[in-house]
Structure 1
């Protein structure tokens, strides 16, 4: 895209997280000025300018972190929890992802911040699409779990704040992110492939969008500077959708190990998952 504008100082929240840390490093590599907001300062490999803000909620005091800031990149969040033990998961997600996000946005606007970039999730769009179709930014939101609902509610609140205050808001909904240091489901799948375990995924001919960490960070920083990104919602991916079978084969090639895929029909996996109480895991 053309029309890149100059940026002054950028605040990154959740900068000790996987995406936030990568964003800070890329910002510094570009010669920009960055400030890292963290819950605890006992974290290595962060920019020299670090501000400890404590827990992110509706009581967080952001003034020291926001002083002199032009753009906020808000990565801090209560992330998707596979086995949530909270009695009211939605309430817990809202404390951080909704209340914390909107509290920061209100204080950012009052402090003169020009642009607020919110890291949301493609789960706001829903859990799946019809065969041969992809999610788009124009789709009606269809969040189906507490994490996705909290992200959608935060998006709605941010748009209201932008309309009232004039602060520019950019919403990014990434799909599954992969790259060095990836954790959770993707890391578990890589571990299984590298160990040579037989996997019942040889007949999973779905299509799934992914985005590499470096590509996501590059897109984020484009959104930090490009005038046309203001008040837009973006879905982002590598542009090469893969089936689960193709993904496993690619992992095996990268690890230089044989691929051990069993062609178990998807309906059989889904049925077994329901019997074992692991239907959601099979779907993921």
Structure 2
């Protein structure tokens, strides 16, 4: 999704922080975002609306690539966000290796372009289903007992500082932490998590992970399947390898080199096997 990479201004920052506060309603993270969002007036823009739509559909983990390092306070979501998108990058790399190596091997054996395309379509469809199926179940949040208090405690009326005092911190230490959050923002997150572990966000839902992993697999493999069926062999697979190398370069030059060399070696092995 094309979004401008320039940093958010103070109005956009306040608007997104308030969206996050609304999304985290009923949790301690709501008070975290309230402390940050009240410092400046909110200003809506096109990219704020786009990111707000993403946040409402999949939470901070879905929008993490566009929030990371740009929105103050989002270091709170660094662990689930980085973990999710690191796995998605691995899924994309696995998909490219699978579809390009198999296609290059068939091209080396001088199989028909239709055969190469059929193999690529099978890898695309079966691989996407496999990626969706192998997502582990995410444990549900702990349920409250019938006798437990559902409404916020009296300390919540004092905001995040009051909640920290309710966890046993002295008033001075609690106010110092809140002041550090307002001034240093992301740098204050580790100390806050140590004082209030329940601030840590849960992992993304299993449904979101299934859609994203299957989508990444299809995004990597479908263009290869399409060009393999349209262009004659081996040019279709060569164009697919070029696409795969460019896509792999998003993970770094070493990943792009790995994908290109793997496809080239598979093609060479196919040519060697065909000649013997």
TM-score, scaled to structure 2: 0.25
Q: Higher strand fraction: Structure 1 or Structure 2? A: 1
Q: Rg: which structure is higher?
A: 2
Structure scoring higher RCO (CA < 8 A, sep ≥ 6) equals 2
